Structures are given as C-alpha cells and as structure tokens.
Amino acid sequence: MIELLYSGNTFVFLQNNGPRDLKARVLPHRFSAIRSVHIHYQVLELAYASTHYNGHRADRKRIRDLLWSLNTMQPIENLSIFIQGPVQRAWMCKSIFYDIGPYYYCLETGSLTVRMPWPVLDDNSNGSEAEGFSEAFAESPIRVLFPPRKMNAEGADLDMGYDFGWRVGAMFLPSLDEPGEIEITSYAVFTPLPVVH
C-alpha cells in the first residue's frame, strides 16, 4: 500500500530544493518508486543580480542539481516543469532549457513538458522583448509551452521573493482520454518560509 502511494501519485514540488529534501527524508526504494513528478522551479536570476554572469551560472547549477536528484526515480513516466520568472534575458531561458534537455532521454515514455516564461529583455539588453524567442524551442522533442501574454502581464512571473510566497502555475499530466495529449491543471498555493533545522 505504501509503495502504491509513491508510484500511483504525482509528486508536486513547489520549492527549488523540494526533490532533494524529500530524497533525504524517505527510504531510497520509496523515493525511487515515484513515477510522476511536477516541479515548480523559481529562477533566481534577480536574486543573484541579473547583470552578473555568476547569477546565470548559479541558476544553471541549481536546475542541474535538481534534475540529478531525480536520477534514482528512473524510469519516470511523466515529468512536468513550470519555470517561474521573472527572467531578464532570452539566453538565460535557453540555457536553463538546454540543461533540462538531456533528461528527456532518461524518461520511460518521453513525457516531458516544460513551461517557459517570456524574457523581459532581449540578448542585447536594449529593453525590447526577445523576438522569435519561442521559435528557438520548436525543434525540441520536449513539449514546450509559453504563457499567452508577455511577462509583465503574467502573474505567475512576478518577483515574489526567494522560495516562499505564492506559487501560481500549472502542471501538465498525460491525458487519460486522449493518448499523446496533456491535461493542464492550474494552481495557486502559498508556500511558507522554509523551516531551518
């Protein structure tokens, strides 16, 4: 019965360190039994000062570490990732996406959906929104979604502070009625300050 709890449900992680923290607190065979995961990942580019290259490197390392913590779950049947902005530049979004890409080939069914935010600025930092940004992802085998409006009107991408506060997003699960399609479930959840042990 306990194994079914892990294998038969979608685990929703709303804080960046969620998968790592769960992995440290449950028995390894139970963690590895998880088959469906949704991750709400908060880009910390602004927290690291968006004009500094180290912010870019830190976010890339965090997303790689997060995905690495899922390795023992293989084979995962469904992985849904909601990337929460704000993100300043198109190259930041592309870099994070490229770090997610290799994980696609580790999935049992290849069911990976990633929601990307719109960048605020283009690569030249001249204040205009990136043109042709979404087309950069068109050739990927990963299902990539974008919000219907530009970022300054998208509530999910407001800067709300580091790893706590409201998480407004959506998770993407395989449709039970239409094979190959996804069902989108929206959510708005308040995450309290992390407990420090």
Torsion-angle region of residue 51: left (phi > 0), alpha (psi -120 to 50) or beta? alpha
So what's the pLDDT on residue 191?
A: 78
What pLDDT, on a 0 to 100 scale, did the predictor assign at position 163?
60
Q: Tens of pLDDT along 121-147?
A: 654 444 444 456 677 677 778 888 888
38 located within any domain: yes
Q: 158 in a domain, yes or no?
A: yes
* 56 falls within a domain: yes
Domain holding 80, by residue range, is 2-191
- Report the alpha-carbon angle 104-19-82, nearest 5: 55
What pLDDT does 45 receive? 65
Task: Judge contact between 129 and 120, C-beta under 8 A.
Answer: yes
**Tokens 């963690």 -> residue:** 31
**Distances from the Cα of 58 to the Cα of 45, 55, 77, 89, 177, angstroms:** 8, 5, 28, 15, 40
Spatial separation of the C-alpha atoms in residues 59 and 162, rounded to whole Å: 13
- Phi, psi for 95 (deg, rounded to 5): -65, -45
Residue 185 is predicted with a pLDDT of 92
Q: How many domains does the chain have?
A: 1
Q: What is the pLDDT of residue 71?
A: 76
Strand 112-115 with 78-84, pairing: parallel
Q: Is residue 75 in some structural domain?
A: yes
Assess if residue 197 is contained within a domain. Answer: no
pTM (two decimals): 0.82
Any domain includes 196: no
Q: In this structure, is residue 77 part of a structural domain?
A: yes
* pLDDT tens digit at each of 197 positions of the chain: 787 888 889 999 988 888 888 989 999 889 989 989 999 988 876 555 545 545 567 777 888 888 888 877 767 888 999 998 877 777 778 888 888 877 777 676 668 899 988 877 654 444 444 456 677 677 778 888 888 755 444 567 766 666 667 788 899 988 888 888 899 999 888 877 655 54
Instruction: Tell me the H-state helices in the chain.
Output: 2-7, 18-25, 28-31, 53-68, 90-100
| CA triple 109-80-189, angle to 5 deg | 150
Other CB atoms within a 10 A radius of the CB of residue 193 amount to: 10
